[in-house]
Amino acid sequence: MTGVTGRLDHVGLNVADLAAMTRWYCDALALQVEFEFALPDVDFAGVMLHSAAGHRIELLHRTGHVAGMQPDSPVDAALTLGFGHLAFDVPDVDLAYDVLVGAGATDRMSPRPSPEPGVRMAYVADPEGNLIELLDRSIAAGKDTA
């Protein structure tokens, strides 16, 4: 049996305040609105965001939503099955961490070496508590960061 082939198209993230989170993701992560949508006869709306690098995040909102777990760390997030976090490969974890915290993200794990050899990592939570992992693989890939 052959598995499904293709590429990851986007990640969907359920949010309480669609307008506020759209602004935050566009400002903090330099994303652009690709398109907005709403389903007729259902209070359900969304917006597709994209980056210059080609990744896409779909923010979704429905009235009557129930808050999920708000983990204090990536380790605690693993206690709930399903979605855990978004991860971004960035050229400078410390700078990206400072920029996101300055934009209103909350510290969940300060920059440090990753368990993956040669990789630095950090975690923040967006204003609604969704985890965002920051990774710098340039050392592991042998890239000169100077």
At residue 120, the 3 state secondary structure works out as: strand
Domain-wise residue ranges, the chain: 1-63, 71-146
CATH superfamily membership of 1-63 = 2,3-Dihydroxybiphenyl 1,2-Dioxygenase, domain 1 (3.10.180.10)
Instruction: Judge if 1-63 and 71-146 fold alike in CATH terms.
Output: yes
CATH 3.10.180.10, domain 71-146, yes or no: yes
Evaluate if residue 146 carries a pLDDT over 80.
no
Percentage of the residues of the chain whose pLDDT score is greater than 70: 95
Q: 3-state SS string over 38-55?
A: ECCCCCEEEEEEECCCCC
* Per-residue pLDDT band at 141 (split at 50, 70, 90): low
The residue with greater pLDDT, 79 or 88, is 88
- Dump pLDDT digits (tens) for 14-59: 999 999 999 999 999 999 999 999 998 889 999 999 999 999 999 9
* Per-residue pLDDT band at 140 (split at 50, 70, 90): low
**Each residue of 9-44: b (16+ CB within 10 Å) or e?**
eeeebbbeebeebbebbeebbebeeeeeeeeeeeee
Across 25-39, 63-77, 78-92, 132-146, least confident range: 132-146
Are the C-beta atoms of 69 and 108 separated by less than 8 Å?
Answer: no
**Residue spans of alpha helices (H) in the chain:** 18-29, 74-77, 93-102
- In sign, the C-alpha dihedral spanning 8, 16, 130, 135 is positive
| Closest alpha carbon to 125 in 45, 34, 44, 15 | 15
The predicted pLDDT at position 67 comes to 82
Tokens of 4: 């499904």
The predicted pLDDT at position 35 comes to 98
The predicted pLDDT at position 145 comes to 47
